[in-house]
Chain A
């Protein structure tokens, strides 16, 4: 399989065989990138305040349909602006008021890889 995309893992995992810094490639690299973008707060990245979403702040709002819609828009915007490798199919945000959290499911495809990908991210406020 050709390596189209290659990144290292967020956790700096080692390659168990060579001991080098482990690579994350192709669909997994895009998935990691997407997760980074969604979980980054705006103004978190130095000198580029528009990268990211404000999901963390929304977790402290009443989880109604308005918040859900806003969450979807944040995710769509950041993906549209910063992840051109991805064709976004759907963003589903499901609130879990009892757990003070959401589950975000992003359905997308990648230009060079025909299969529809699904990224599921559980969100829960930390305090």
Chain B
């Protein structure tokens, strides 16, 4: 509210009209000029100029004030800068990766062939787009291994930047990387003494000051401008400083992030650079690129930076682990960490369990798991150990019946169906796909109803699907927990089998080379392998058990001899009593397009 005391001019308004009103109020308190209230007067024109000038200054001050604090900053550059004060470096893009078999051929192969860092292959996406995948370290192929190896390839291209340290420039320890699309986990820094002295030493990345002495040859990383990064060297007290004339070489991978995910087709480059040697690539049936992620959003930086600062670079509480992993491993879509006392089915005291979900795949590759351990081990309390557990991912199978009034819309049934599917997928990306994120039918129903005013009602039936890629011909058992009470309408188990409908069903697989089979429950908590064509024929009894109240499933090892050509996934589906699905802290629920079924029903109603 304006102060109307004589002689007081309120200039805190940001709105032009309100500010002009304040000036008019001020003018009304002096006797000389009286025409300030008439828009045509000269004094009114002068008030306009004053108001505009004051508004501009107020806006500028407001902007400067806002951008000075992480909470209120709007510009990405300001957010990155504020985060830097908290020693927080925004997560960069990360490259999609894939593990492929490499085989060399030819009549005159040397005994040892080295594929250098940055050795490239070509990958073709489903839409025909072509991307390059490269190695991130040298790969040795020797005659002892028949010139074969499993090699990790990462999407992107290798960039090398060279800087010369010059103390006279006053900015000798700070070097800007030119690409905004750096995968910061790929940065490799080496320092050559000078042009004449070619002794070169690789320097290591340090996330903070902990353990860094004056003799530590380390570099730090910090955000710069919108999406860029700076490599920073020590000052001689914290980290070794650079000497004049040092030549700094920075290698890193420039990536397109999520654009590299989901690719299944790979081929060698036309020119591999290997003289007289042919190169062939082998990919498994389920091989697909994954792990590519986009750079951290401004909102995420605002959320994470203070929490990261809270950890002080040490992993003490469960949330510390989560924050530190999320910052250092951007390829994880979601991260979970919990103490061994909360582990199921068996408690693991003295152990911290960490897990993460990478976009596109449901497992953590071994090399990434090792990197996680290597990163966490030095910063956890003595006496604790870290263990990486694979994410426990469950798919939600959603059958949705949507009733709508055709008199209230111009959309066709197929358009409504498409809009509803889109709404469900948006709900999935916004609400699910995170550790411990439960599925609640009512909020989704409300969102679907909001898709179009013609939608009258929405009904769901849900089931949960656990999927595995089975090892063919190998005896394998399965143990998992749906963590939800299952659909079981009978009050007494002994009365059950009279009107039997299985609650638990697997997908079809070959139990012997010719017999198609599946696993189902018998209503008494026992799982049997039955014939797919006639489920009253039991092929193997009591292969496992199911607990209808807790959702725990245990299947003893058995051999799958093959999968139908249409599928290579073994899925286990259970029905649920309601549309709500509870997720434990180690579980991730996901809705995939293939698991959504929408039935749109027209209903003519008067209102």
Contact = CB atoms under 8 A, between A and B. Distances in A.
Interface stretch (A32-40, A55-63, A64-72, A100-108): A32-40
B42 A51 contact: no
B41 A33 contact: yes
B48 A82 contact: no
A43 interface: no
Given A45-B48, A47-B16, A47-B17, A5 B34 contact: yes
A16 B45 CA distance: 24
A115 interface: no
Interface in B16-52: 16-17, 32-35, 38-43, 45-46, 48, 52
B571 to A, nearest CB: 63
Contact of B32 (A23, A37, A47): A23
A10 B44 CA distance: 11
Contacts of A3: 34
Interface residues of A, number: 26
Contacts of B43: 7-8
A32 B42 contact: yes
Given A46-B52, A47-B16, A36 B34 contact: no
Interface of A: 3-10, 23-24, 29, 32-34, 36-37, 40, 45-48, 51, 82-85
A42 to B, nearest CB: 13
Contacts of B35: 5-7, 29, 33
Interface of B: 16-17, 32-35, 38-43, 45-46, 48, 52
Contact of A36 (B16, B32, B45, B52): B45
A36 B40 contact: yes
A68 to B, nearest CB: 23
B29 to A, nearest CB: 15
CB-based closest 5 A-B pairs = A33-B40, A37-B40, A7-B35, A6-B34, A82-B39
A8 B34 CA distance: 10
A8 B40 contact: no
A10 B32 CA distance: 16
B83 to A, nearest CB: 36
A3 to B, nearest CB: 7
Contacts of A37: 39-40
A22 B46 CA distance: 15
Given A24-B42, A46-B16, A84-B38, 20 more contacts: A5-B35, A7-B33, A7-B35, A7-B41, A7-B42, A8-B33, A8-B43, A32-B42, A33-B41, A36-B40, A36-B41, A40-B40, A45-B45, A46-B52, A47-B16, A47-B52, A51-B39, A82-B38, A82-B40, A83-B39
Nearest to B43: A7
Contacts of B40: 32-34, 36-37, 40, 51, 82-83
A32 B45 CA distance: 12
A83 B37 CA distance: 10
A9 to B, nearest CB: 7
Interface core residue of B35, B40, B45, B46 (most chain A CB under 10 Å): B40
B48 A36 contact: no
B42 A36 contact: yes
Contacts of A48: 39, 48
Given A4-B34, A6-B33, A8-B33, A29 B41 contact: yes
B21 to A, nearest CB: 13
Nearest to A50: B39
Nearest to A33: B40
A47 B41 CA distance: 17
Nearest to B34: A6
Contacts of B32: 6, 23
Interface core residue of A8, A24, A40, A83 (most chain B CB under 10 Å): A8
Nearest to A34: B40
A4 to B, nearest CB: 7
Contacts of B52: 46-47
Contacts of A23: 32-33
B16 A33 contact: no
A48 B20 CA distance: 12
Contact of A33 (B17, B33, B38): B38
Contact of A46 (B33, B34, B46, B48): B48
A84 to B, nearest CB: 8
A10 B48 contact: no
A70 B268 CA distance: 76
A82 to B, nearest CB: 4
